[in-house]
A and B are shown apart, each in its own frame.
Chain A
């Protein structure tokens, strides 16, 4: 397919920056979306895709830069303005009134008329359905529809409101393979009828299948925009996970010690079937970092949860220092030296309305050091908080300040300070630098290496391939709940790991070395 000309630019971002407390979600983004094409925004979780979409849809306003529509700057205060300008969006969480019918849900968004002409609306919706081959019964209550069907209602809503650009945020997450096929067929048809589609995804094969153009985002920045026909999946993987040369830490080789974590044949089923674990086996030794690579949603969350004791395995064994820990609660596992840094530090790792000092002892509030006969030992908590704030360079007014006001990097430092305090035997780390700025990223990585040198066994689950190549002694790759390959760092290449991550199996003999 040929590249579109400059005159066909419909929607564009120019130098757009959006900051949230502690994170630069979008950093100087410049991007052109062309008329009547399918444009994918590709990136890992936290790369800034959804934020960018929200900026296009008026949910947020850019701190810097402008959004332009049809070559003119457009200033949107709310989605209402976006809809009026012809931009529609299907968000990840649907905004539907479930007891009302499909027809009612679609007309509910129309404004400015005292009385809605339902018959006219029905006719118009019928036309739209015919035009794009959408099959939905207009009189069914939305609550009775399957989730995939509800998504069609959202799409119809946007079309009915007259959108020229349709933004879809991870639309395939709720669809079956057949549903995805149907959606993609419809999207292609829409594009051929002149509609412009912006599709957000982190799945490579979807990009290859549906899009004309693809923009890869990483850490809030645009890596590159290309014609999909001119890139390969391996190229895209490389762009997604990137290579930050300036973040490389000089990691000296160490000789690994005794076996600490020994997982074998682990099965964990999840309710939806997504992200479950299938026959996972891995070993981590003292003074060793085992990296787990993989595109998100391939079982990393289940692996983390089962290791820290938040979920139980359906089959298989977890041994720590040759002792079975399957029956141990999260508290018990903490006790025997299993520390963890969760991926979502705000929801899984911290109490945002606690004081910093209180967060620093979370999980150890019952230990002898901080509790005497039920009373919290304030002096010893304060002393530990002071030490941690100094040692980990946590930038806060004081340890008794509420945690909520801190930046992402400082939040992560609190988690790290807390988890490293007990000199853990095993450290399970999930996405430790997601959303952090370069300084904090470097700091967190350095601390992990120091911990390894002290003698800890570290399991590092990350979507950042650069991080893995930089820190790990060995790298295992997860795809669809399985470890599909494992390789020593010396032999690891981005291309080889990228292939495994994309689900393209390598030489069979190589897997599970």
Chain B
């Protein structure tokens, strides 16, 4: 304050001299192995923290995790069931990852899942008696993709034209589609022979074939993995994918060089919605064969977590979807054998996500010792 400032708060500058310390320096490039270490590390830390919860409830951590693992991968059957659980998550994870790559925040995977399932049911209900299975199944998947794409495009168009925040519109559209569905299930789509809010069960001509007979593993899983390859190729090898990635990296430079950001936004929303819609069709046609309000186990929302943990890469999405499928599947066995609530799995999921996100930022930096002048 004053000309001679003996009252300056803090120590004399002498103490600053001897200070040495650590400082975070930004890395120029993050290498792929950094990403892998982050993912594995986050998962392990998530499990480790949950083991404290298990221990606190006087259960054996080892036994619990063994039961979890056995339930997920312990037998051939367990593996198939894990893949069944992973199937919708791969689709919704790809849906979120694709949109997020363009920095379009589609939080409406859940609604687009239902839109897809409804589209699939609509055409199946209409034509299952007239079309052979080999035609019916592709048609219902196409209808599901179209319905998901259409539903998501509403948010895409609003964003492109009026710069409406897509996070809000997609979340709102989730509610709307669910309310429409529950209206239909209570009215014209309700099965005549039940009081429940559900449709009739459709015959085999609308069923997705099984990969392994006698299990629930249907070809939706194969299709999901194929879609991961398609999304990867689309992003890396096509002009559209180039623009999608470009819009995600730097919108300003993109517009300066003639990329139409609104156009890309609408297309990204539509494609993302189509992917989520396929998940709805796979669950409808592969598992339930009818519509009801609980055909989604939050698949649309979990897909967002899957996408983020998979670092928005299609291969990462497949791996993390299978890991999550395994957790969900193994949790049932764990609950039966040890009495630990299956909800623990949600905790593991949540913690893993937090640590992946933390790690994703952390790997961009490295610790460096600061030099001292003495």
Contacts and interface: CB of A to CB of B under 8 A. Distances in A.
B257 A354 contact: no
A333 B255 CA distance: 12
Contacts, number: 129
Interface in B13-27: 13-14, 16-17, 19, 21, 23
Nearest to A362: B257
Contacts of A75: 16-17, 19, 372-373
B256 A365 contact: no
Interface in A118-150: none
B214 interface: no
A76 B10 contact: no
B253 interface: yes
Return the 10 tightest CB-CB contacts between A and B, nearest first. Answer: A84-B10, A331-B258, A363-B257, A194-B3, A86-B8, A330-B258, A351-B249, A371-B239, A362-B257, A353-B249
7 contacts: A74-B13, A74-B17, A76-B16, A86-B10, A308-B256, A330-B258, A331-B257
Contacts of A362: 246, 253-254, 257
> Which of A75, A349, A350, A378 has the most chain B CB within a 10 Å cutoff?
A75
A354 B245 contact: yes
Given A164-B1, A330-B255, A350-B253, A404 B10 contact: no
Given A61-B23, A331-B258, A351 B17 contact: no
Contacts of B194: none
A363 B257 CA distance: 5
Interface of B: 1-3, 5, 7-11, 13-14, 16-17, 19, 21, 23, 28-29, 237-240, 242-243, 245-246, 249-250, 252-260, 370-373
Interface in A59-113: 61, 66, 69-70, 72-77, 81, 83-86
A374 B238 contact: yes
B5 A86 contact: yes
B242 A365 contact: yes
Contacts of B252: 347-348
Contacts of B239: 365-366, 370-371, 374-376
Contacts of A35: 3
Contacts of B7: 162
Contacts of B5: 86, 162, 164
B256 A351 contact: no
Contacts of A405: 28-29
A27 interface: no
Contacts of A162: 1, 5, 7-9
B19 A354 contact: no
Contact of A349 (B23, B29, B253): B253
A333 B256 CA distance: 11
Contact of B256 (A36, A161, A194, A330): A330
Given A75-B373, A84-B10, A347-B250, A329 B1 contact: no
Nearest to B246: A351
A402 interface: yes
Contacts of B253: 347-351, 362
> Which of B250, B257, B371 has the most chain A CB within a 10 Å cutoff?
B257
A194 B372 CA distance: 31
A334 interface: yes
Given A72-B13, A378-B237, 10 more contacts: A77-B23, A85-B16, A86-B5, A162-B8, A347-B250, A349-B253, A362-B257, A363-B257, A374-B240, A375-B239
Nearest to B19: A75
A308 B253 CA distance: 12
B311 to A, nearest CB: 13
A21 interface: yes
Interface string A326-342: 00011111100000101
Contacts of A349: 253, 256
Contacts of A332: 258
